[in-house]
Homo-oligomer: A and B are copies of this chain.
Amino acid sequence: MQNLFRPLAALAAILIVSTAASAETDPLPSWNDGPTKEAIVGFVEKVTEESGKDFVPPEDRIATFDNDGNLWAEKPVYFQLLFAIDRVKALAPEHPEWNDKQPFKAVLEGDMETLAKSGHAGIAELIMASHAGMSPEEFQKIVSEWLATAEHPRFKRKYTDLVYQPMLELLSYLRDNGFTTYIVSGGGIEFVRNFSQDKYGVPPAQVVGSSIKTKYELVDGKPALMRLAEINFIDDKEGKPVGINQHIGARPIFASGNSDGDYQMLEWTTAGDGPRFGLILHHTDAEREYAYDRDSSIGRLDKALTDAPEKGWVVIDMKNDWKTVFPAAN
């Protein structure tokens, strides 16, 4: 009997060793070891342990991620605003009236100070002028062309190269553990959908975002949707839980953001029953990326940073927690 079982025992030993080796493969290689990484891995192991008291069935493993400053960079200003500016410049020849009309005049003269002073209303006007008056398909084409050619002023790389490598690993790690990953962006839903599958592995249907209204109509007898210069929904602050509930129909168990615009998403997510995880990316790395928080006009992180310890939200220290920031250049 002993002899008969020896080969089986050897085989079992091989299987055990290879399983252990595979379990030891680091799913988050761009994260330094330390409390942040431990907290993330600990949470995922806890909710996926079938016999554990904190087990969460896969259909409830919903994770939501802010985009700007959380999955990709957002400085010097939101990349979508840079797209709007480039688009206004491209459309200017058809709009001579813009030469005398703010905020268009400021854009055409490269006067960023005046543009900044135009505030939310000015930005909204730019977005409408550059994002409406076409079908979603035409808009996708315009965004694709811009993303394929435009370059970040500091890093001299395409904007879609400025996604955060550690967050790409986190998205994959969560999905490998049965989570469904959603993007919940204050930015435009159709803008983010343009690259969400390619860059983040998140399909268009799993993107929640701000939107303008669209209208169904027949153009030369062909059915089409037309993008209108009218706000439909602002997916920011109190809008994030509203957008999540509308789109997903469930409360996430994991939320990740980087600014006070994500406060309510983090708050609503982590106030639910059972195991919950709130994650904040703190930009502390002026050398490799940017360092900003309480005083930044873009991506201000103030109240959420103050309340994080009390709320139990885990704060990523970009400089110390991340081995690399952006994917290696090709």
- Give the interface of A toward B (CB within 8 A): 59, 136, 180, 189-190, 193, 197, 203-207, 211, 214-216, 222-223, 225, 232, 238-239, 241-242, 245-250, 264, 267-268, 271
Contact = CB atoms under 8 A, between A and B. Distances in A.
B223 A264 contact: yes
Contacts of A223: 241, 264, 267-268, 271
Contacts of A211: 246
Given A216-B264, A268-B216, A225 B242 contact: yes
A204 B182 CA distance: 14
Nearest to A197: B59
B238 A205 contact: no
A271 B219 CA distance: 12
B250 A204 contact: yes
A75 to B, nearest CB: 27
A198 to B, nearest CB: 12
A225 to B, nearest CB: 6
Contacts of A215: 238, 242
Residue of A136, A207, A216, A241 with most chain B CB atoms under a 10 A cut-off: A216
Contact of A205 (B189, B216, B239, B247): B247
Contacts of A271: 222-223
B249 A193 contact: yes
A205 to B, nearest CB: 5
A213 to B, nearest CB: 8
A133 to B, nearest CB: 16
Residue of A190, A193, A214, A249 with most chain B CB atoms under a 10 A cut-off: A249
A168 to B, nearest CB: 19
Contact of A204 (B189, B214, B249): B249
Contact of A190 (B216, B249, B267): B249
Contacts of A207: 249
B268 A205 contact: no
Given A59-B203, A215-B242, A225-B241, 17 more contacts: A180-B205, A189-B246, A190-B249, A193-B249, A204-B248, A204-B249, A205-B205, A205-B247, A205-B249, A207-B249, A214-B246, A215-B238, A222-B271, A223-B267, A225-B242, A225-B245, A232-B246
Contacts of A216: 238-239, 241-242, 264, 268
A249 B59 contact: no
A249 B207 CA distance: 9
Contacts of A204: 248-250
B205 A248 contact: yes
Contacts of A241: 216, 223, 225
Nearest to A238: B216
A207 B249 CA distance: 9
Nearest to A62: B205
A215 B238 CA distance: 8
